[in-house]
Amino acid sequence: MVRMIHKTALLCFIFQIFVESSSAARILPSCFGKPPPQRLRELLESEMNGTRENPKPILLPCCYDGLSARLVGRSGFEATFLSGFGASAAYGYPDTQLISYDEMRQAAQYVSEGLSSSALEQNKDDVTVCIVDGDTGHGNAVNAKRTIFGFAKAGMAGVMIEDQVSPKRCGHVAGKSVIGFEEAVMRVKAACDARDEYEQLYGEGSGPLILARTDALETNGFDHAIERCIAFRDAGCDMTFLEAPRTVEQMKEYCTKVSGPKLANMLEYGKTPILPPEELKEIGYTMAAYPLTLLSASIKAMQESLDLIKSGQPTDDLIMPFDETKDVVGFTQYAAEEKRYSVE
- The pLDDT tens digits for 69-81 are 999 999 999 999 9
Count Cβ atoms within 10 A of the Cβ of residue 186 and give its class: 0-12 exposed, 13-18 middle, 19 or more buried: middle
* pLDDT value at 161 more than 70: yes
* pLDDT value at 173 more than 70: no
CB 139 within 8 A of CB 133: no
Q: Give the amino acid at 136.
A: T
Q: How confident is the model over 25-30, as a mean pLDDT?
A: 32
Name the least confident of 28-42, 125-139, 185-199, 205-219: 28-42
Mean pLDDT across the chain, nearest whole number? 90
- The pLDDT tens digits for 237-253 are 999 999 999 999 999 99
- The pLDDT tens digits for 87-105 are 999 999 998 889 999 999 9
Query: In the structure, what pLDDT confidence band is assigned to residue 170 with cuts at 50, 70 and 90?
Result: low
- The pLDDT tens digits for 55-66 are 999 999 999 999
Q: What is the pLDDT of residue 126?
A: 84
Q: What is the pLDDT of residue 271?
A: 93
Query: In the structure, what pLDDT confidence band is assigned to residue 16 with cuts at 50, 70 and 90?
Result: very low
Burial 51-84 (b: 16+ CB within 10 A, else e): ebeeeebbbbbbbbbbbbbbbbbbeebbbbbbbb
Q: Rg for the chain (alpha carbons), in Å? A: 22
HEC profile of the chain: CHHHHHHHHHHHHHHHHHHHCHHHHHHHHHHHCCCHHHHHHHHHHHHHHCCCCCCCCEEEEEECCHHHHHHHHHCCCCEEEECHHHHHHHHCCCCCCCCCHHHHHHHHHHHHHHHHHHHHHCCCCCCCEEEEECCCCCCCHHHHHHHHHHHHHCCCCEEEEECECCCCCCCCCCCCCECCHHHHHHHHHHHHHHHHHHHHHHCCCCCCEEEEEECHHHHHCHHHHHHHHHHHHHHCCCEEEECCCCCHHHHHHHHHHCCCCEEEECCCCCCCCCCCHHHHHHHCCCEEEECCHHHHHHHHHHHHHHHHHHCCCCCCCCCCCHHHHHHHHCHHHHHHHHHHCCCC
Q: Which of the pair, 234 or 21, is modelled with greater confidence?
A: 234
Q: Which of the pair, 301 or 2, is modelled with greater confidence?
A: 301
pTM: 0.89
Q: Give the amino acid at 188.
A: V
Query: In the structure, what pLDDT confidence band is assigned to residue 136 with cuts at 50, 70 and 90?
Result: very high
Q: What is the pLDDT of residue 322?
A: 97
Q: What is the pLDDT of residue 65?
A: 98
User: From the centroid of its chain, how far is CA 119?
Assistant: 16
* pLDDT value at 232 more than 90: yes
Nearest-angstrom CA–CA distance, 343 and 18:
38
* pLDDT value at 205 more than 70: yes
CB 83 within 8 A of CB 292: yes
Q: What is the pLDDT of residue 7?
A: 41
Nearest-angstrom CA–CA distance, 226 and 255:
10
